[in-house]
Chains A and B, each alone.
Chain A
Amino acid sequence: GAVVSQHPSWVICKSGTSVKIECRSLDFQATTMFWYRQFPKQSLMLMATSNEGSKATYEQGVEKDKFLINHASLTLSTLTVTSAHPEDSSFYICSASPGTSIDTQYFGPGTRLTVL
């Protein structure tokens, strides 16, 4: 089956630092990649949608200058949390879609971010 990896799987950082999370589709080309965030006991919330070579589309309430998304190739998207604060601590999950239908999404294993 299709595999999506994320790196790192967990990270602890100090408040004010930036953290980069990578999402890779290992055995397929991802037309579209998605970034989600999940707080404890809550549902996954879509943060942004990115298509290779174009700017990401951010959901309402998600600051594009704080959460920088780059989708430079068909197999790699990165999310950078800039100037992280404790309230950014969350489980960040990416997914990748191989075609034009978003019904098929393969999820990465997630990155647990803790900001001290």
Chain B
Amino acid sequence: RKEVEQDPGPFNVPEGATVAFNCTYSNSASQSFFWYRQDCRKEPKLLMSVYSSGNEDGRFTAQLNRASQYISLLIRDSKLSDSATYLCVVNQGGKLIFGQGTELSVKP
């Protein structure tokens, strides 16, 4: 079983759609959680940290369920510029473990 597993994707959605990404992690001792965004042939960039209480940043909402070892990211009113690969990342034992990413393509 992969340490961090994401929806395989790709997700192709029209502008304005709401899209949800799911992620599960295998190690219950994982300490902190993040969503990163990676554009083609570029480095990953931190989108937001994820907390048990849930957190929102504009059109983006992240949720963490420690009991289920599940993390989600919701993007509302998607824009063309949201097209990228979204990476679920977990701090496990002092290392960042990356999921394989879910590709999102927003079409006009």
Contact = CB atoms under 8 A, between A and B. Distances in A.
A40 to B, nearest CB: 10
B94 A102 contact: yes
A112 interface: yes
Interface string B76-108: 000000000001000100111111110000000
B44 A107 contact: yes
A109 B100 contact: no
B95 to A, nearest CB: 6
A44 interface: yes
Q: Mostly helix, strand, loop or mixed at chain A's interface?
A: loop
Nearest to A105: B96
A43 B98 contact: yes
A103 B94 CA distance: 8
A112 B100 contact: no
| Chain B: interface size category | 10 to 19
Contacts of A112: 41
A43 B43 contact: no
A43 B91 contact: no
B101 A103 contact: no
B100 to A, nearest CB: 4
A93 interface: yes
Contacts of A108: 43
Contacts of A45: 98
Given A49-B95, A102-B96, A103-B32, A43 B42 contact: no
Contacts of A34: 96
A46 B44 CA distance: 13
Which 3 pairs across A and B sit closest by C-beta, in order of nearness? A107-B43, A43-B98, A43-B100
26 contacts: A34-B96, A41-B100, A43-B4, A43-B98, A43-B99, A44-B44, A44-B87, A46-B97, A49-B95, A91-B41, A102-B91, A102-B94, A102-B95, A103-B32, A103-B34, A103-B49, A103-B91, A105-B96, A107-B43, A107-B45, A108-B43, A109-B42, A109-B43, A110-B41, A110-B42, A110-B43
